[in-house]
Amino acid sequence: MDSLSQHLPFRQFLKDQVVLITGTSRGIGRALARGFQDAGALVYGTVRREDQFPELTQEGIHPLLCDVRFRDQLEKVFETIYEKHPIIHTVVNNAGIATHSPASLLKESEINDLIDTNLKAVFHVCQIYYQKQRNKGGNIINMASVLGLIATPLAAVYCATKGGVIQLTKALALEWAKNHFRVNALAPGFIDTDMTEVMKKRPQVIQQVLQNIPLGRLGESKDVVGVALFLASEAASYVTGQVFVVDGGLSAH
């Protein structure tokens, strides 16, 4: 990914800030980790396999082993960071999974994994962070999806979890504002990552998707980064409880 710093007006706001991003092994999470690191932040990123450590470390990102479905592992992540730093300036809830199964055929294990990863883990991260920094304030960015706002076939539970993230974001923003916490959500549209590989292999499907996107292309991971950096900066100090849609105009129909 090309250096972002030359394009961003808020590098000074992020210099030496401590940031935790879940799910940084690939896709949007990886781009976010690089973008925050490039903008001067000290970035900690969770991954599920230790063999992913060397590549992240080489890029200046501090990897932490964690399966976000398990609260005890999330608590350990926070404890590890707080052993080194008195405060975490921003937490980005990025870890997530998707399926492409018909709703009538979804297995119980798939349903549980979607809910545990996409919704429960987001709440647990927010709750742990708030409990640790209740008197210091904080900044949370939750990764939702345009599919939390509009529906599509073959993604019933995924849509439900992302809609839940949006409502969770708004509710926490209201509840925690008095403790100087800002809570916002990002809702990417169809981004060109491994999660859209299945769609890209079906010419009719990808053609239909592109026809519905006014800008006429899939998004790139870096398209999400600039908005996330804005939300992490002092430029967004009066912004909370909002959902920032990055979808090329898809949801404007």
pLDDT band for position 145 (cuts 50, 70, 90): very high
Please pick, among 44, 129, 130, 158, the residue that the annotation labels catalytic: 158
- Answer yes or no: is pLDDT of 177 > 50: yes
Total residues belonging to the chain? 253
pTM given for the model: 0.93
pLDDT band for position 12 (cuts 50, 70, 90): low
Q: Is 158 a catalytic residue?
A: yes
How far is Cα 203 from Cα 5, in angstroms, rounded to an integer?
Answer: 36
- Answer yes or no: is pLDDT of 7 > 80: no
| Count of CB atoms situated within 10 Å of the CB of 68 | 25
Kindly report the CATH number assigned to the domain that includes residue 233.
Answer: 3.40.50.720
Residue written as tokens 């962070």? Answer: 129
* Dihedral (Cα; 217, 56, 169, 113), 10-degree rounding: 90
Q: How many domains does the chain have?
A: 1
> Distances in Å between the alpha carbon of 130 and those of 38, 151, 179?
26, 31, 9
Secondary structure (DSSP) of 139-152 = EEEEE--GGGTS--
What integer is the mean pLDDT of 12-27? 92
Quick check: is 165 in a domain? Answer: yes
Strand 181-188 relative to strand 42-47: parallel, antiparallel, unpaired?
unpaired
Secondary structure (DSSP) of 157-179 = HHHHHHHHHHHHHHHHHHHHGGG
Residue type, 142: N
Q: What pLDDT does 90 receive?
A: 98
| Residues whose CB falls within 8 Å of the CB of residue 214, separated by 6 or more in sequence, listed in order | 248, 249, 250, 252
Please enumerate, as own/partner, the contacts of 249-253 that have beta carbons within 8 Å and a separation of 24 or more: 249/213, 249/214, 249/215, 250/146, 250/150, 250/189, 250/190, 250/212, 250/213, 250/214, 251/146, 251/149, 251/150, 251/189, 252/214, 253/212
Q: What pLDDT does 9 receive?
A: 54
pLDDT band for position 4 (cuts 50, 70, 90): low
Quick check: is 1 in a domain? Answer: no
pLDDT digits (tens, 9 = 90+) for 209-222: 899 999 999 999 99
Q: Residue 78, class by beta-carbon neighbours within 10 Å (0-12 exposed, 13-18 middle, 19+ buried)?
A: buried
What integer is the mean pLDDT of 26-41? 95
| Residues whose CB falls within 8 Å of the CB of residue 79, separated by 6 or more in sequence, listed in order | none
> Distances in Å between the alpha carbon of 126 and those of 17, 158, 251?
18, 20, 27
104: containing domain: 7-246
pLDDT band for position 1 (cuts 50, 70, 90): very low
Quick check: is 91 in a domain? Answer: yes
The fraction of the chain above a pLDDT of 90, given in percent, is 85
What integer is the mean pLDDT of 85-89? 98
Quick check: is 131 in a domain? Answer: yes
Quick check: is 2 in a domain? Answer: no
